[in-house]
């Protein structure tokens, strides 16, 4: 190297590229994790409820259902107990989780003729979780209210 040769340029700083790659990776992993676990609490509530039914612990299952005062324990046993359409529940599998984009309202038609469904604007307050009970082909749909994780039959 002589006196008239220019000095070589400094090597590029690798940190901006590393930070960008790390941010992209964190966003990608975070998005995947969010997508996989976005209904975790609601699914866990249904799992606990179904586990109580499989164990035959109907009082605990009734508590997990968080029923309204008008839904008595005897009515619950008719819907979920050994005298229900499934009989004793031995097995279950969660097959689908559906999020209703906007609430649906079923109203009678004009003059009392036929019912119609009206879609309301806004976000739904819960999820519908479909559960296959005792290996039956037709799954049962359970509504899970997001704010308090109470269970009920879907309103639609």
What does pTM read for this prediction? 0.74
Provide mean pLDDT across the span 139-153: 90
CA distance 120 to 131: 26
Cα angle vertex 22, ends 20, 23, to 5°? 65
CA distance 66 to 9: 70
Could you report how far apart the first and last alpha carbons of the chain are, in Å? Answer: 82
Q: What is the pLDDT of residues 88-125, one digit of tens each?
A: 999 999 999 988 666 566 677 666 566 676 666 566 78
Distances (CA, A) of 86 to 71, 121, 130, 135, 154: 20, 36, 15, 10, 18
């Amino acid at each position: 190297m002589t006196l008239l040769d220019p000095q070589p340029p400094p090597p590029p700083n690798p940190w901006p590229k590393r930070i960008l790659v790390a941010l992209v990776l964190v966003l990608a992993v975070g998005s995947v994790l969010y997508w996989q676990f976005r209904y975790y609490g609601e699914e866990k509530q249904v799992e606990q409820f179904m586990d109580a039914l499989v164990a035959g612990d109907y009082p605990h299952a009734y508590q997990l259902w968080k029923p309204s005062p008008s839904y008595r324990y005897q009515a619950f046993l008719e819907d979920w107990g050994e005298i229900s359409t499934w009989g004793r529940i031995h097995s279950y599998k969660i097959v689908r989780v559906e999020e209703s984009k906007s609430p649906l309202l079923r109203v009678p038609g004009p003059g009392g003729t036929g019912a119609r469904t009206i879609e309301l604007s806004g976000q739904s307050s819960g999820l519908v979780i479909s559960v296959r009970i005792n290996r039956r082909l037709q799954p049962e749909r359970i509504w899970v209210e997001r704010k308090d994780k109470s269970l009920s039959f879907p309103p639609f």
